[in-house]
Amino acid sequence: MENNPKEVAVELKTAIDDNGEMEYNTVRATGQLFQKSRMDVLSYEETAEDGSPIKNMITIYSDRVAVKRTGLVNMHQHFRERKTSENVFQHPHGNIHMETFTNTITYQALSDNQKGMLIIDYVVKLNGQDERNHQLTLTIRHKEGL
């Protein structure tokens, strides 16, 4: 594996099922991918609705995934299959307590001839309210593949 970062194209899709009412979101960005022997680290920046930057760092290990967001919003979320994690989503309008149960994590690392793909199925409770099912699908492509 390489320690040198690769410039990559990132597409992050989220689907949220709130009692049958679906909500979808897609973020596309250019980022840096560091592939090391025991983890892959993806960093990229997105722009919030008000134009301010949000920095994202996704660290993918063989048995877990960590997502850290800083900027207009702040959070550090952990995903481990069949485990519950808690964190606080800090937003300009207030803090939201998140309780996350991860059902499955599937990861195919980026290679020379295959795009990278991370899929996480999980359930979230916000401030103790009803659970909502989430699916995160992250696609990573070589930048020249755009």
Does 141 map to a domain? yes
Burial class (CB in 10 A: 0-12, 13-18, 19+), 22: exposed
Nearest C-alpha neighbor of 136 from the set 54, 43, 15? 15
C-alpha angle with apex 10: 8 to 139, nearest 5 degrees? 110
Does 28 map to a domain? yes
pLDDT at 3: 61
pLDDT at 48: 84
Does 1 map to a domain? no
Amino acid 121 reads: D
pLDDT at 129: 87
CA distance 140 to 123: 24
pTM for the full model?
0.91
Does 86 map to a domain? yes
Does 64 map to a domain? yes
Does 129 map to a domain? yes
- The number of domains in the chain is 1
pLDDT in tens, the chain (146 residues): 456 789 999 999 999 999 899 999 999 999 999 999 899 999 999 988 888 999 999 999 999 999 999 998 999 999 999 999 999 999 888 999 999 999 999 999 999 889 999 999 999 999 888 899 999 999 999 987 44
CATH at 63? 2.40.128.20
Domain holding 129, by residue range, is: 6-145
